[in-house]
Amino acid sequence: MDILGSTFISIVKIAALLGYIYGLLWAIGHKKIWVKIAGVVVAFGIIQLALSLNFGGFQILDDFDSSLLFQSCIMAMVALGLNLIYGFNGQFSLGQWGFYGLGAYCAADVTYRWTNGDARGLLVAGLGVLLAGVVILGIGRLLRRLRGIPVLSSFTLYLLGVVVAVAAAVFLGHILNPAITPLLGTNENPGPLATGLPLQIVFFLSIVIAGAFAAEVSFLFGLPVLTLGSDYFGIATLGFTIVVNTLMVNSDTILPFPEMRGGRGMLGIPNLTTWFWVFFFLILIIIIMRNLLQSSTGRAIMAVREDETAAKSMGIDVAGNKLMAFIIGSFFAGIGGGIYAHYIGFLAPATFDFLPGFNPLIIVVFGGLGSMSGTLAASFGWIFFLEGLLRTLLGKMGTDAPTWRFVLYPIMLLLVMLIRPQGLLGSVEWGFLKSKIIRPRHKADTQPITTPEVGAD
């Protein structure tokens, strides 16, 4: 009876969350601005109350549900980025988890150093991302004037420019650090810049820096690799994820980051992720991706997916649009990684192994390639059903039973592929995510112009 009761409650919670997502997207897509604002505020407040209110020891969303909710939102950010790359642009990628890990470690190192009296994490990472971005844009403008340069030569030029920018950021960081360090204090006795609003601002900057760092790495990686076919590109991105994971394991030996502790895992990351930040960044990513897809740039990205030859014949920059989709998708993954690091407070390289990296791919296929609504629904359904309900039910059958969910995952995916190959929602979009309907203009009725017959008087 206990199993049936917990199953029923879990199903009700999943249905309520899917209805919550539908209502939120409907409100954002409303024509009236006050409905949009009120809908976002109410949507935020509903979950905040469900997380904070306690009725005699009973919470609508307890600690376990809260963990699943945060994981679902983070997974939605990563999966939306992969859907942009794979679902909307047609590039099969297995590197999304690697960029997710890069964002997590980058953001964690910034705030870890800041709360331990070292401003170099923020200074070096922030200046490095900024200078590298300026260098990439400058070299890009130069190369557009000099046509006919091979891809590998362009990649070498970009790489050298980024290395110089990073070296300059390290130099400037060491110079500026002594001026800020006295205001940070220590972990036991924090200074004025390491608490309250200043710390929240640093957290926000760390998330943005993490996304930008992942985006710039994806640019350097994608520039030569995107010239490969889709299958070979997938293999290359899988290799990238394995390389990133190897660097994480050896971060305290090969890389100059002893605070990351290599394979032992990084400890002491401040728990700064709250529902406000998760909600804010998820809404931001949804709005950015939706507006991108409904712009002329988004149409070009989807045209590349349909037929590269036809898109090229219409004047679309196929290579440029592939690279753009890859960069933006990696940017979303980096943001999700930064939020995850400050929610869990501990980073282990095993979390970013290539096997868990298949989760975003499964979610994208499960929800529907080329459907943002499907990705959102599948992200919440995947975490709450498989990691929540199924894991709980199997846990009551024995200590080793929860591992059977790794057997049930592929079986469920195979069934979906056989029964509904287009995914659960296919190409269906909800509310704000629906494409705009452009109605044809009706011309006014005009009298036909008659001409006199030849020879008529």
Give the pLDDT score at 133.
Answer: 95
Q: Distance of alpha carbon 217 from its chain centroid, rounded?
A: 15
3-state secondary structure of 406: helix
- φ/ψ of 443, rounded to 5, equals -75, 145
Q: Which of 376, 361, 387, 382 is nearest to 425 (CA)?
A: 376
| Residue 310 burial class via C-beta count within 10 angstroms: exposed 0-12, middle 13-18, buried 19 and up | exposed
Percentage helix, strand, coil, to 5, in the chain? 75, 0, 25
CATH code matching the domain that covers 9-53+60-118+184-432, chosen among 1.20.1070, 1.10.3470, 3.90.1750, 1.10.10: 1.10.3470
Domain ranges across the chain: 9-53+60-118+184-432
- DSSP type of residue 385: I
Alpha-carbon distance 148 to 288, whole Å? 33
The answer to whether the pTM exceeds 0.85 is: yes
Question: For residue 53, how many other CB atoms are within 10 A of its CB?
Answer: 11
- φ/ψ of 55, rounded to 5, equals -105, 90
Tens-binned pLDDT, residue by residue, of the chain (457 aa): 466 766 777 788 888 888 999 999 999 988 889 999 999 999 999 999 988 887 766 677 878 888 889 999 999 999 999 999 999 998 989 899 999 999 999 999 999 999 998 999 999 999 999 999 999 999 999 988 887 788 888 999 999 999 999 999 999 999 999 999 888 887 778 888 888 899 999 999 999 999 999 999 999 999 999 887 767 888 999 999 999 999 999 888 888 888 898 888 899 899 999 999 999 999 999 999 999 999 999 999 999 988 888 988 888 888 899 999 999 999 999 999 999 999 999 999 989 988 888 889 889 988 888 889 999 999 988 888 777 766 666 666 665 655 666 677 778 778 877 888 888 887 788 888 887 655 555 555 455 555 455 444 4
Give the long-range contacts of residues 385-389, CB within 8 A, separation 24 or more. 385/10, 385/14, 386/412, 387/68, 387/71, 388/10, 388/64, 388/65, 388/68, 389/6, 389/7, 389/10, 389/11, 389/14
What's the count of helices (H) and strands (E) in the chain, helices before strands? Answer: 16, 0
Q: DSSP assignment of 14-52, as one string?
A: HHHHHHHHHHHHHHHT-SSHHHHHHHHHHHHHHHHHHHH
Q: Which two tokens stand for residue 199?
A: 């710390």
Q: Which of 218, 324, 343, 226 is nearest to 273 (CA)?
A: 343
Handedness of CA 199, 59, 24, 359 (dihedral sign): positive
Alpha-carbon distance 347 to 340, whole Å? 9
Q: Which helix (H) or strand (E) holds 112?
A: helix 96-115
Q: Distance of alpha carbon 99 from its chain centroid, rounded?
A: 9
